[in-house]
Amino acid sequence: MSLAPPEQSEKLFVTRRMLAAPRTLVWKAFSQADQLLKWWGPKDFTMLGGTLDFRAGGRFHYGMRAPDGSEMWGRFVYEEIVEPERIVFVNSFSDPQGGLQRAFFSTDWPLEVRNTLTFVEENGRTMMTLRGGPVRATEAEQALFDSMHQSMTQGFGGTWDQLEVHLAAMQA
C-alpha cells in the first residue's frame, strides 16, 4: 500500500487551463456557493444542490443527476485555502448525507483523492492548474487511478469548459 501523499508521488494527475478571466473572478467562481453550483460537474449533468463551507476544515457537498437520470453525490474537504492562489482539498464520492462512499463505477477507485488547485494571473488571464493523487491508496487503487488519467482529462475538460462559459457570463 502506498502511503505517500500526492505531492511526493510521481504519478499525479495534472490538468491545466488558461482562463480568459482575472484571478479574482476565477477565485469567486470556486469560493462562493451561488457561483460554484452553476458550473461544477460533468457536461450535461444537472446540479441537484449543494452546500459550501469554504474554509480550511470546511466542505463542499453536492449532488448531480446524470443524463440517464441516475444521481451521484460528491464532497470536497478543504485542507488549505490561500486566497487567491491555492486551494487544497480531498475529494470523494459520497452519499446524500455527505458520508464517504465508494465510486459507483469501480470498487478499486481510490476512496479519497487530494487535489491542489493553483491560480496564476498573467495579463488579466488566469492559468489554473489542478494536481491530484490518491490518499492512502492500495496498489490496485493507484493502478486504476493511473490508468484513468486520459478519461479524467476529458472529464475535467468538460467541467473547465463550463467554468469558462460561467466566467464569460460573470464578466458580461
Which distant-in-sequence residues (6+ apart) come within 8 Å of 82 by Cβ? none
Q: What was the pLDDT predicted at 10?
A: 52
The burial of 6, by beta-carbon neighbours within 10 Å (0-12 exposed, 13-18 middle, 19 or more buried), is given as buried
CA distance 119 to 140: 32
Location of C-alpha cell 488549505: 80
CA distance 4 to 131: 15
Q: Which CATH superfamily is domain 9-171 in?
A: START domain (3.30.530.20)
Q: What was the pLDDT predicted at 3?
A: 39
Q: What was the pLDDT predicted at 94?
A: 97
Q: What was the pLDDT predicted at 11?
A: 80
Q: What was the pLDDT predicted at 143?
A: 95
Q: What was the pLDDT predicted at 73?
A: 97
Query: Which letter does DSSP use for residue 103 in this model?
Result: -
Location of C-alpha cell 487535489: 115
Domain ranges of the chain: 9-171
Which residues of the chain fall short of a pLDDT of 50? 1-9
Location of C-alpha cell 446524470: 66
Question: pTM value?
Answer: 0.91
